Amino acid sequence: MIEGLSHITFIARDLDRMSAILTGVFDAEEVYSSGEEQFSLAPEKFFLVGGVWVAVMQGEPLPSRSYNHIAFKIDEADFDGRLARVQALGLEIRPPRPRVEGEGRSIYFYDDDNHMFELHTGTLEQRLARYAKGKEAAE
């Protein structure tokens, strides 16, 4: 039986730069750094982001960018502050996709290794409720 999400791993060329992104944008707490003592395939660091274990392992970046991404929930009141953090780190912000009102707002951005992240104000329940309204209106 699946109990939930265990962890998310990102491969990053520069562990210190990725650490700065995770702590600067996501308020990540670093809980482990392999340093000279390597147990896995490469040097790595572990973080907690909103209670989720995020691992970062040193290696070659993704060869290209795509819409594959991980989204973290933020409060609507925190939107502008988080956007300022992303901008302060010089990260490339992707224009938001078209949305219907009521499904929340998002900040999409890429790190230096072609990973796309999203900071999203909505929830699954809100999105499903909004989409259900759309279906009713069309009928």
Write the CB contacts of 87 (distance below 8 Å, at least 6 apart in sequence): 93
Which pLDDT belongs to residue 3? 84
User: Looking at beta carbons, which pairs linking 43-50 to residues 24 or more positions away fall under 8 Å?
Assistant: 43/15, 44/15, 45/15, 45/18, 45/19, 46/7, 47/19, 47/22, 47/23, 49/22, 50/26
Q: What is the CA radius of gyration of the chain?
A: 17
| Whole-angstrom distance, CA of residue 107 vs CA of residue 83 | 7
Catalytically active residues are: 44
- DSSP per position, 27-82: --EEEEE-TT---SSS-EEEEEETTEEEEEEESPPPSS--S-EEEEE--GGGHHHH
DSSP state of 111: -
Mean pLDDT over the full length of the chain? 89
- pLDDT category at 136 given cuts 50, 70, 90 is low
> pLDDT per residue over 5-61, tens digit each?
899 999 999 999 999 999 999 999 999 998 778 777 788 999 999 999 999 999 998
Would you identify the CATH topology of the domain 61-139? 2,3-Dihydroxybiphenyl 1,2-Dioxygenase; domain 1 (3.10.180)
Q: Tokens 């265990």 correspond to what residue?
A: 6
Give the pLDDT confidence of 80-132 residue by residue, as tens digits. 999 999 999 999 999 887 666 777 889 999 999 999 999 999 888 888 887 77
> What is the topology classification, in CATH, of domain 1-60?
2,3-Dihydroxybiphenyl 1,2-Dioxygenase; domain 1 (3.10.180)
Under the banding of pLDDT at 50, 70 and 90, the label for residue 139 is very low
Give the pLDDT score at 138: 43
User: What residues does each domain of the chain span?
Assistant: 1-60, 61-139
Other residues' Cβ atoms within 10 Å of the Cβ of residue 122: 18
